[in-house]
A and B are shown apart, each in its own frame.
Chain A
Amino acid sequence: MKYLNLSIKEINKLLKDKKIKPIDLVNEAIENIEKHKEYNAYITLNKEEAIKKAKELEDKEVDNLFFGIPIAIKDNIITKNLRTTCASHMLDNFIPPYNATVIEKIKEKNMIIIGKTNMDEFAMGSSSRTSYFGPPKNPWNKNKISGGTSGGSATTIASRDLPIALGSDTGGSIRQPSAYTGIVGLKPTYGRVSRYGLVAYASSFDQIGPMTRNVYENALLLETIVGHDEKDLTSSKRETEDFTRLIGKDIKNMKIAIPKFFVSDIVDKEIIEKINQTIEILKKNGAIVDYVDMKYIENTVTLYQIIAMGEASSNLARYDGIRYGFSYENPKDINDLYLKTRKEGFGEEVKQRIMVGSYILSGENAKIYYNKALSIRDDIKKEFSRIFENYDWIIGPTTTTTAYNLDDPMDDPSKAFMDDVLVIPANLAGLPGINIPIGFDKSNMPIGMHIIGNSFEEAKIYQLASLIEKELKLDLNPWKGEENE
């Protein structure tokens, strides 16, 4: 019997009725993961601890929907006593003595951490191919990328290994892999989820979010991880809310904006077609859809690069071989320790971004690039606010193409950023955004739609996403008939 293919609610009922035990779920998740080992979704499996935890839970009351549910955690989220590598040689021996705030929250709900998922090194990349541990593979076609940087979490959810995972999104890193693998992934409003214990890449963008098989469970999982955290000064004072409350409500006369840039010729035709079909469905449901012009939206990648790499160059300075992580042995002196540790500990992409970021902040450049980018970032926020005065949602495709081949060249340094050109604007403005699968291309690779909501209007995003999900009724299981147990 496969329990993990049931909905969370159904699993919860079985647990409550004592028809199954948490250990059944853990065993099934581990079996799935081992079966899909070649997809390389995990860096570290938490098998023994997960089994131990499941056994402990047998004596406890099933007190919430997520009780005993196996969850996968992106490997840049700090887990106490469980190796956290950021997919980097720099941290491949790092066992943290503390928990991220989101981990405390999921532990309170007695979810069971199954393992730490693969990703781009320090969340820098767009295909998870910068991972020190090799890339995860797309369950829809193992020659293709799963996207990035939360590629491992996307892979394991798409593979139906387990129902829920956490990812992180700095410049599209939840939504883009979700689009490539056909799952639902939300980047919450900046400040919604505590960043304490999320290994920083670009502090003013980073945000943890839920990655799930469907919209409803995404909303449920979000509810468990949000809330003010005194350990993170950038976390919002807003407390948790019922994010499912608008699901099922009609969208009649509600207004949707589509920035023209989002459906311009940078996007593959097949994707535009699917978007157009979805728009027709929305119109049929009474929504008003307008195409709008938005200032600066073509330049967001450049702005993002400047600010994110500047912040990254400083955030990653702490990896120096002194207190934790990889340390070059027998250095000549302190400078030698710094140089060799960072030369050998970091991969190429990371070093490149640190160097560019250092250059951007250096001397007069800080004024020319960084400060200017910050000021245009404010203008972009205002531009989004202007749109949201008249519209409920902004939509577009999540990606310009579907997942490409794992062996496509990686020699163009800006390619990684261009993969995220449609999702980065939401990061710059700190707005919530979701990927919702809307179909497949000719080679049966998933296509996703991106919905951006106004600040803290995640519930409204779920309203629209769930309507699309219900209308399309896609079969999003990549194994279909192949795995009939």
Chain B
Amino acid sequence: MSNYIPTIGVEVHVELKTKTKIFSPSTNGYGEMANSLTNEIDLGYPGTLPRLNEEVINLGIKAATILNCKIRKVMHFDRKNYFYPDISKNYQITQNRTPIGYDGYVEIEIDGEKKKVEIEEIHIEEDTCKSAHRGEKTLLDFNRAGVPLIEIVTKPCMTSSKEAKLYLEKLRELLTYGDISDCKIEEGSMRAEPNVSLRKNESDPFGTKVEIKNIGSISNVVAGIEKEIERQTKLYDKGEKIVPQTRRYDDKIGDTVLMRVKETGNDYRYFPEPDIPFVVLTDEQIEEVQKTIPMLPDERRKKYLELGVSETNTKKLIQNRNLSDFFNTIIDEKTNHQIASNLLLGDISAYLNKNEKTIDETTLNKERILELIKLMEGNKLSSKNLKEILDSILETNSKIEEIIKEKGIQNITDDNKIIEIVKKIINENEESVTDYKNGHDRAIKYLMGQVMKETKGTINPKIAMEILKEELDK
């Protein structure tokens, strides 16, 4: 175990889910032919000027709100000047002095305790182009150039890779739920860059910071931080100094590798972007945007548990945004929400997966699911029967009661009829009845199976079991 206290901060870039790029009308897309989503603005041609995609500002407001940040009402963009082939103008338009959000936090739960991960600032900027190295040559694909990004910077306030992991998971959940980004790390629409330093005591100043870049997954963020703590600990133990540097995580060797040593005083010659006037946000605009924020995961979690949904189902629902949104349409209804969650996560999910559909692509709606729950609750439909008619429920607009009638699979809910069948089974299986009376538990299961077989599963198994027990104990 290390004798040092790690200090961890994380910078996260996420690509915003907009139709077009931040400063040009080019499509914001992924996986298209190289340089097909570009125009003269993205390529930094002479005389071109940036426009400003209002959607980006709105998503910035949304992100700032969700991450509990203060929102800056008067802001401008800045030019960050540096020569590199990935930026067509040789300057990046970003927000250096007036980030849209600042002083926020994300709440995580670590070992049962709540902790606020503090957000220093979030700012809006343009993404760079993608470069691919082919032997001596470098190929440039400007499709990504000008895709809107927000950069979310935490304070150096985390002390373990576990905290960093929980923070990133929570951040991803919040940003996806806020429809801000799809946060696909593997496609690069979410990129996390942790920085790590060590110190001996809480009271010591922070140690020398090392940044880790090029990390392709949250688990690699954890591995990267762990490896870096290990590396720095060894160096400190040997009495050596840490050189400020940027490292990358190499998945193949499972370790961090030096990218470059930080040169002192990186000079980006920042100045306010003269091509974009100051952006002034009104209270009305901020409120309008905030109204569009859907119910966030924490609130959903609380609500679902209150409604009597099991913890497992709650977790699963929230992991599936579409199902959770559908579920939200009935949270104010008087119904059995546990059954609803069972239905959604069980048979309906299986059907959707099998048919590669989303719930919005079915005919299921609020009224129909309420009817379905009512039928199931009233034992008018067993889950076995449900499977048979599920495609009709999800693909037609017919009333579910009518579907049941049409298919002739009405449940046997008449107790007398069930008693009759149970009696018949008891009579036909004397041996098992004797076994039961001699205390063999397995026998009742066999008898129950026979009852279900006889009724082709059209009876409520709970009621059938009760009657079976009653008859056997007579």
B47 near A370 with CB under 8 A, answer: no
Looking at B48, B89, B269, which has the most chain A CB atoms within 10 Å of its CB?
B269
B49 near A366 with CB under 8 A, answer: no
* Interchain CA distance A320-B50 in the complex, whole Å: 20
Q: Please pick, from B50, B265, B267, the residue contacting A233 in the complex, using a CB distance under 8 A.
A: B50
Q: Please pick, from B47, B140, B277, the residue contacting A199 in the complex, using a CB distance under 8 A.
A: B47
B44 near A361 with CB under 8 A, answer: no
With A230-B51, A234-B277, A361-B81 known as contacts, the answer to whether A84 contacts B91 (CB < 8 A) is: no
In the assembled complex, the CB of A152 is this many whole angstroms from the nearest CB of chain B, namely 18
In the assembled complex, the CB of A406 is this many whole angstroms from the nearest CB of chain B, namely 28
A323 near B48 with CB under 8 A, answer: no
Q: Please pick, from B89, B91, B267, the residue contacting A363 in the complex, using a CB distance under 8 A.
A: B267
A180-224 to B contact mask, C-beta < 8 Å, 1/0:
000000000000000111111001100000000000000000000
Looking at A91, A98, A233, A311, which has the most chain B CB atoms within 10 Å of its CB?
A233
B265 near A363 with CB under 8 A, answer: yes
What are the residues of chain B within 8 A of A94 when measuring CB–CB? Answer: 46
In the assembled complex, the CB of B277 is this many whole angstroms from the nearest CB of chain A, namely 6
Question: In this assembly, does B83 line the interface, its C-beta being within 8 Å of a C-beta of chain A?
Answer: yes
In the assembled complex, the CB of B271 is this many whole angstroms from the nearest CB of chain A, namely 5
Q: Please pick, from B47, B91, B277, the residue contacting A198 in the complex, using a CB distance under 8 A.
A: B47
B251-287 to A contact mask, C-beta < 8 Å, 1/0:
0000000000000010101111011110000000000
* Interchain CA distance A311-B91 in the complex, whole Å: 12
A323 near B43 with CB under 8 A, answer: yes
What are the residues of chain A within 8 A of B90 when measuring CB–CB? Answer: 317-318, 320
B64-79 to A contact mask, C-beta < 8 Å, 1/0:
0000000000000001
Question: In this assembly, does B377 line the interface, its C-beta being within 8 Å of a C-beta of chain A?
Answer: no
* Interchain CA distance A86-B46 in the complex, whole Å: 10
Residue tally, chain B, CB below 8 Å to A: 31
With A198-B47, A203-B274, A323-B43 known as contacts, the answer to whether A314 contacts B52 (CB < 8 A) is: no
A314 near B91 with CB under 8 A, answer: yes
A314 near B50 with CB under 8 A, answer: no
What are the residues of chain A within 8 A of B271 when measuring CB–CB? Answer: 310-311, 314, 361, 366, 370
A197 near B88 with CB under 8 A, answer: no
A196 near B48 with CB under 8 A, answer: yes
Question: In this assembly, does A157 line the interface, its C-beta being within 8 Å of a C-beta of chain B?
Answer: no
Question: In this assembly, does A334 line the interface, its C-beta being within 8 Å of a C-beta of chain B?
Answer: yes
With A195-B49, A366-B270 known as contacts, the answer to whether A233 contacts B275 (CB < 8 A) is: yes
What are the residues of chain B within 8 A of A388 when measuring CB–CB? Answer: none
Question: In this assembly, does A259 line the interface, its C-beta being within 8 Å of a C-beta of chain B?
Answer: no
What are the residues of chain B within 8 A of A197 when measuring CB–CB? Answer: 47-48
With A233-B275, A233-B276, A322-B85 known as contacts, the answer to whether A314 contacts B269 (CB < 8 A) is: yes
Question: In this assembly, does A291 line the interface, its C-beta being within 8 Å of a C-beta of chain B?
Answer: no
With A323-B44, A358-B269 known as contacts, the answer to whether A233 contacts B49 (CB < 8 A) is: yes
With A234-B277, A314-B271, A366-B269 known as contacts, the answer to whether A78 contacts B49 (CB < 8 A) is: no
B147-167 to A contact mask, C-beta < 8 Å, 1/0:
000000000000000000000
Question: In this assembly, does A417 line the interface, its C-beta being within 8 Å of a C-beta of chain B?
Answer: no
* Interchain CA distance A47-B276 in the complex, whole Å: 38
What are the residues of chain B within 8 A of A314 when measuring CB–CB? Answer: 79, 81, 91, 269, 271
Question: In this assembly, does B40 line the interface, its C-beta being within 8 Å of a C-beta of chain A?
Answer: yes
What are the residues of chain A within 8 A of B236 when measuring CB–CB? Answer: none
* Interchain CA distance A69-B43 in the complex, whole Å: 34
Question: In this assembly, does B446 line the interface, its C-beta being within 8 Å of a C-beta of chain A?
Answer: no
| A21-41 at interface with B (beta carbon < 8 Å) | none
In the assembled complex, the CB of A230 is this many whole angstroms from the nearest CB of chain B, namely 7
Question: In this assembly, does A362 line the interface, its C-beta being within 8 Å of a C-beta of chain B?
Answer: yes
In the assembled complex, the CB of B74 is this many whole angstroms from the nearest CB of chain A, namely 15
What are the residues of chain B within 8 A of A98 when measuring CB–CB? Answer: 40, 45, 48
A317 near B43 with CB under 8 A, answer: no
* Interchain CA distance A363-B277 in the complex, whole Å: 24
User: What is B's interface to A at a CB cutoff of 8 Å?
Assistant: 40, 43-52, 79, 81, 83, 85, 88-91, 138, 140, 265, 267, 269-272, 274-277
User: What is A's interface to B at a CB cutoff of 8 Å?
Assistant: 76-78, 84, 86, 91, 94, 96-98, 100, 195-200, 203-204, 230-234, 310-311, 313-314, 317-320, 322-324, 334, 338, 358, 361-363, 366, 370, 374
Supply 12 further A-B pairs (C-beta < 8 A) apart from A234-B274, A322-B140.
A96-B46, A233-B50, A234-B49, A234-B275, A313-B81, A313-B269, A318-B88, A323-B43, A323-B45, A361-B271, A363-B265, A374-B272
Q: Which 10 pairs across A and B sit closest by C-beta, in order of nearness?
A: A317-B90, A361-B269, A203-B274, A204-B274, A197-B47, A78-B47, A199-B46, A199-B47, A318-B44, A318-B89
Can you show 23 pairs from A to B with CB atoms below 8 A apart? A91-B46, A96-B47, A98-B48, A197-B47, A200-B46, A200-B275, A313-B81, A318-B88, A318-B89, A318-B90, A320-B83, A320-B90, A322-B140, A323-B43, A323-B45, A324-B46, A334-B85, A361-B81, A361-B269, A362-B267, A362-B269, A363-B267, A370-B271
